Amino acid sequence: MKDCCTPKGGAYDLAVIGAGSAGFSAAITAAETGARVALIGEGTIGGTCVNVGCVPSKALIRAVEGLHHARAANRFDGIEAGAGVTEWAATVAQKQALVEELRAAKYSDVLPRHDNIDYVEGRARFDDEGRLTVDGDAFPAAKIVVATGARPHVPAIPGIKTVDALDSTSALELTTLPDSMLVLGAGYIGVELAQLFARAGVLVTLVSRRGVLPEAEPEISEALEGYLSEEGIRLARVTGYESVAHDGGSVRLTTTAGESYDAARLLLATGRVPNSDRLNLGAAGIETDARGGIVVDAQMRTANPNVWAAGDVTGSDQFVYMAAYGAKIATRNAVAGEVRSYDNGTMPWVVFSDPQVAGVGLSEAQARAAGHEVVTSVLPLDAVPRALAARDTRGLIKLVAETDSKRLLGAQILAPEGADSIQTAAMALKAGLTYEELADTIMPYLTTVEGLKLAAQTFEKDVAALSCCAG
């Protein structure tokens, strides 16, 4: 990696602030156009996903998945199995080795392959005249892409700073498992981590104000809540949080209704906030929303005509693949003079719970709020042959379509292998298929994705009256 200030001949064509997935996407995209690029990073290179997000969490989720499958093996007659944690520190060390391997392969080792990218270690900030600086020194660049990501949100609960609360980063670094844990927040991070630690043997209480996955279809949220409860996770729906305090060797959470919940550790999964507060954006004429997300237009441009922003710092679509996608659009517009627009209309998303939750497009509520007359199909997983063969019928599939045109508007899947099926629904929406056309699509038998075909048929047929593979 190179550490330098200004290229020979003057300013950079593009300065990229942030060396995570969005930042690398922006820098590489700009370099491919022939631009001279400065990639400005502070701290560990690679950003959230590889270091403290997607990679470590999914590695540990997969590890404890093996424990669950062993314990559930007796659903097949004549089979018994068992599994348990013998050394959690070794599991965490293996996870960390993967993080370091991928950080090198996908980030550090990538930079030398691009001669026109200079890596600059330092803190970027706009000065009071709106000029870009690094560690206080002027840093000339014709165009700028801000890609500084986000960090875990710490809610303003009295006492929260006195109890050494875990967040999604520090929880994945624990080398010793606590006996019990309160997980505050039941969005995708809270659900994933609650199930992870419960399967590892921790007594988990999942506390939330809006229930499990409140943004998902209600049928899916309700079903997943039941499955988590069956695994021994205590679910607590509260109206608000009054205080947090130590109580002997435990942490006690008191709600506004006077209820109290105790555990050895408290894990905060209450969302993420954009890393925009230390950039002095106002001096550069860059606007932010109420949560600190940088406001951009459809071309990813800020209110400053020479500055674009992409990724989690914008406060929307906080997924690594959307960060990279948005950064590519922002950069092409910035350095190549293009007018590309960001489009998340067919953005697939996944929650790595078990069963997995995945979706694309509009939910039923969103479709109705947008003015569509809709019809829906809900197919329980016990109508899918793959689930019957696996003797695991946890889940359902829900499709949303326009009533008159029959055009598909959205899909959500709750299934043990649902994540790998959602892209088929995304492609169907991208192509503008009707549910009749999806129902006529040839899909392989005894796969989870076949459930999409069955769900599409369910709009107008009783699939129980069909033989195998009948369409």
Give me the amino acid identity at 311.
G
Distance CA 423, CA 241 (A): 38
- State residue 364 phi and psi, 5-degree precision: -60, -45
Interatomic CA distance for residues 99 and 457, integer angstroms: 43
Taking alpha carbons only, the member of 19, 61, 56 closest to residue 38 is: 19
CA-based diameter of the chain, in Å? 75
User: Which positions ≥6 away from 321 have C-beta within 8 Å?
Assistant: none
Distance CA(13)–CA(3), nearest Å, equals: 17
Bridge-based pairing of strands 141-146 and 137-138 is: unpaired
- Residue 26 marked as a ligand binder: no
187 labeled binding residue: yes
Instruction: For residue 350, list its beta bridge partners.
Output: 358
How far apart CA 105 and CA 107 sit, in angstroms, is 6
Distance, CA of 175 to CA of 90 (rounded, Å) = 8
149: how many CB neighbours lie within 10 A of its CB? 24
Helix 320-336 with 21-32: angle, nearest 10 deg: 30
User: Is-contact 210 74, C-beta < 8 A?
Assistant: no
> Do the bridges between strand 307-309 and strand 141-146 make them parallel or antiparallel, or are there none, so unpaired?
parallel
CB of 4 closer than 8 Å to CB of 105: no
Q: Are the C-beta atoms of residues 321 and 342 closer than 8 Å to each other?
A: no
Return the structure tokens found at 316: 């929307």
312 is in an annotated binding site: yes
Q: Please state, in angstroms and rounded to a whole number, the distance separating the CA atoms of residues 372 and 403.
A: 8
Give the pair of three-digit tokens for residue 47. 């950003």
Q: Does 41 count as an annotated binding residue? A: no
* Rg of the chain (C-alpha set): 24
- Residue 188, annotated ligand binder? yes
Q: How far apart are CA 40 and CA 282, in angstroms?
A: 20
Pair 414, 395: CB distance under 8 Å: yes
Residue 411's DSSP bridge partners are: 360, 399
Structure tokens at 142: 């014709």
- Is 190 annotated in a binding site? The answer is yes
Q: Is 191 annotated as a binding residue?
A: yes
* Placement of tokens 């199930």 in the chain: 195
Task: Indicate the annotated binding residues for FAD.
Answer: 58, 312
**Binding site members for NAD(+):** 185-192, 271
Annotated binding site: 58, 185-192, 271, 312
